[in-house]
Structure 1
């Protein structure tokens, strides 16, 4: 594995602080930063800046561990700060808890040469030296940790080209996707949002020699977000304005739509907000939607279809992840065949429904409530880069059966009623076909989510998602009552897939 190097000139302490912030945002448990340089070169200053940024506490007391040899700090990830200048022997690292620190969080080491070869080969070397009135930092390494550091530094360069090179970067809490977001605070400017979305890694073929993401039409670059944001804004939807972009690297600087929670003060669904969101969907569905959108001059995004293959590969996540978790055994060939037959019969009915834009994740985490605004401008809409052309009812089901919060049946009904009323008012609306499509897409979506939430636990080590399973099963049971879903309802009941016992 070839080593790479990145250099940065740090003209003052503020620049050193920004480098510490950039490093802190890139690090994960198990990463090691080895800080070298003469006395006074800035090793402790850089370590202090990193610890403070990681803790989100600019005034945190961070003493040099010259005499204690190690200090530990909580934050986004645990950080252990070692100073080995007075270390008598590398064997003393066992007593200092180096292995435990590596297992639990990030390790920052000054005077790493005293470790005697005890540091992992993936350690990132940072050599600091005096240069004029400032200092120079040379960072080198190889592997995922160094790649993350390089990407974080590239984000700082991107912000510089957008006129915000000295901004403070604050990470959003993580979600289930590979994208990351930060709030960008620059002097004399409103807060903005940085989207860090590297090109999608497609993964191995899973069906018909195609990766899952290709079959499911998952967006591969930020170009999809840029195109959709523009199209939504042109249609009167409060989507973020794209203020700066690097399409190749996957960086976007976005308008900050606010921080108002779509849920009420107690974290519960508010009927009037859900109704407003349903009415917004009705307005969106009443407008023509092209399948080719402009990203930039000469660059276009083709909105993919939410076709049979995409619908099926998503529901099969239930077989791949939920069924083994639920039953203790992989789904056998007989179940897979019956499953495909049942869902294909249902999807035959979906082929006859109204088609339009499907934003895919139109629910509470991705809607900002802005009570100071009027009309539809009260709803700031996020996370639409995976939009497709498919059954319009899908987003109504995504909203009214919100995956992240329990929506009582009465609020589900009032949300759907608000949508239906708005569609009738516009004319030319077939409610019966919509109701059928609503049930089918709700069942499809919640079947997929059962698989995804178990996958997040089993594959990605995120067990917190399992707490949502009872809600998703309840939603699925609601949807399966519709006669159009009889083949799926019978199959699920026969195999006990929605029973509460685990």
Structure 2
């Protein structure tokens, strides 16, 4: 660390780690002042993506952390520290929930309206990835509730998802940040416009459908977002982007919502079993409730019928709205 940034480990205050392999430490640098040290696997694609997507977002007028220095060989980056005013802390302190979600929506409106947003060398959010993520549900969540599926049932599951996602998997409309929710957003009141929202987590970004980050924001795996806030976000987005077809957006919203919730339910069980992080299991009932709602609202009756047939008890584990 000293060779890279002139710091020693004792200079750094480590921050709690999230579900990823990344870690952060807070430090005061003699040249740059308040900074975070990002540590990640130097061979991981998401580390390289962070170093390219961050400046790309900044060039569009959004607030991704400035990168002061890097040691790519060892997976370190010295980045701007946005402080402590996370959306989660602001909401816990009584901040105006609607105003915070309006600001987050304005980030997506700005990003999705930028001609240069998709002009970056990152992969598409394609069918193969969407299907592999959906498979986490049958690989991890279904076994956790005491049901083992046959290979034929898993293949049927994949075929159903392939049919469900056949249109949305071809979308190449926007830069999708993928984890656009309150735990990854900060309020920067000294800035203006959409730049007042600080962005922390975008290294898994891909090129895909506009609806995905709207799902991430309004159907949060870790927080019960009121339905009126969800409606407010969607109406604000559609009003600002009149060229967007409402029916198409909402079809994508529910299909990608179902896919994301299936993925996340499986991920949280995997984190428990593989990484020894059982704390995420407390969110599973919420996520299963979100999956149940997305299947219903999206008219995804074939998938719902499949889950009811092969895992009849799955709805018993879902939180009820």
Which TM-score applies when normalising by structure 2?
0.91
**1:384 alignment counterpart:** 202
Shift of the 372–493 alpha-carbon distance from structure 1 to 2, 3 Å rule, reads farther
Q: Which of residues 56, 69, 72 is equivalent to 1:231? A: 56
CA distance in 2, matches of 1:188, 1:346: 52
- Displacement of 1:484 in angstroms is 4.7
Q: Shift in Å at residue 316 of structure 1?
A: 0.2
1:247 aligns with 72
Give the alignment partner of residue 478 of structure 1, picking from 269, 273, 293.
Answer: 293
C-alpha distance in 2, partners of 1:497/1:349?
Answer: 30
Q: Which has the higher contact order (CA 8 A, sep 6+)?
A: 2
Q: 1:11-160 counterparts in 2 under 5 A? A: 155-160=1-6
For 2:9 and 2:130, locate their aligned partners in 1 and report how far apart those are by CA, in whole Å: 45
Name the structure 2 match of 1:266: 92
- Secondary structure of the equivalent of 2:45? coil
Cα deviation for residue 483 of structure 1 reads 4.1
**Contact 1:323-1:497 at 8 Å conserved across structures:** no
Q: Is the 8 A contact 1:366 1:382 kept in 2?
A: yes
CA-CA distance at 1:233 after TM superposition: 0.4
Report how far residue 341 of structure 1 moved.
2.0
Specify whether residues 221 and 384 from structure 1 end up closer, same or farther in structure 2 by C-alpha distance, changes over 3 A only.
closer
1:282 aligns with one of 109, 121, 128: 109
Aligned to 2:214: 396
* Superposed displacement of residue 490, structure 1: 2.2
Q: Secondary structure at the match of 1:222?
A: helix
Bigger shift: 480-489 or 429-438?
480-489
For the pair 1:312 / 2:131, whether they are aligned, the reply is yes
Q: Determine if the alignment matches structure 1 residue 345 to structure 2 residue 188.
A: no
Aligned length in residues: 315
CA deviations over 1:107-161 (Å, ceiling 9, x no partner): xxxxxxxxxxxxxxxxxxxxxxxxxxxxxxxxxxxxxxxxxxxxxxxx232121x
Cα offsets for 1:47-82 (capped at 9, x unmatched):
xxxxxxxxxxxxxxxxxxxxxxxxxxxxxxxxxxxx
The reply on whether 1:173 has 2:19 as its aligned counterpart is no
Deviation at 1:333, TM superposition (A): 2.3
* Deviation string, structure 1 residues 225-253 (Cα, Å, up to 9, x no partner): 11101110011110001100112221100
- The correspondence of residues 206-221 of structure 1 with structure 2, limited to 5 A, is 220=45
- Listed as ranges, the gaps of 5+ residues in structure 1 are 1-154, 201-218, 294-301
Q: Is the 8 A contact 2:15 2:26 kept in 1?
A: yes
* More strand, by proportion: 1
Shift of 1:457: 0.8
Cα distance in 1 for partners of 2:93, 2:295 equals 27
Residues 1:464 and 2:289 are matched in the alignment: no
Structure showing the higher helix proportion among its residues: 2
How many Å separate the matches in 2 of 1:185 and 1:167? 12
Q: CA deviation at 1:498?
A: 3.6
Native 8 Å contact 2:255 2:294 kept in 1? yes
Q: Kindly state the Cα deviation for residue 497 of structure 1 after the two structures are TM-superposed.
A: 5.6
Aligned CA RMSD, in angstroms, stands at: 2.3
Q: CA deviation at 1:384?
A: 0.8
**Partner residue of 2:250?**
435
Residue deviations 1:427-465 (CA, integer Å, cap 9, x gap): x22121111111111111111000000011111111111
CA displacement at 1:278 relative to structure 2:
1.4
> C-alpha displacement at 1:500, in angstroms?
2.6
Using the alignment, how far apart are the partners of 2:115 and 2:299 within structure 1?
28
Q: In structure 2, how many angstroms separate the alpha carbons of the residues matched to 1:354 and 1:307?
A: 9
Greater CA radius of gyration, 1 or 2?
Answer: 1
Query: What is the DSSP-based 3-state SS (H/G/I as helix, E as strand, rest coil) of the residue aligned with 1:380?
Result: strand
TM-score (norm 1): 0.59
SS in 2 for 1:384: coil
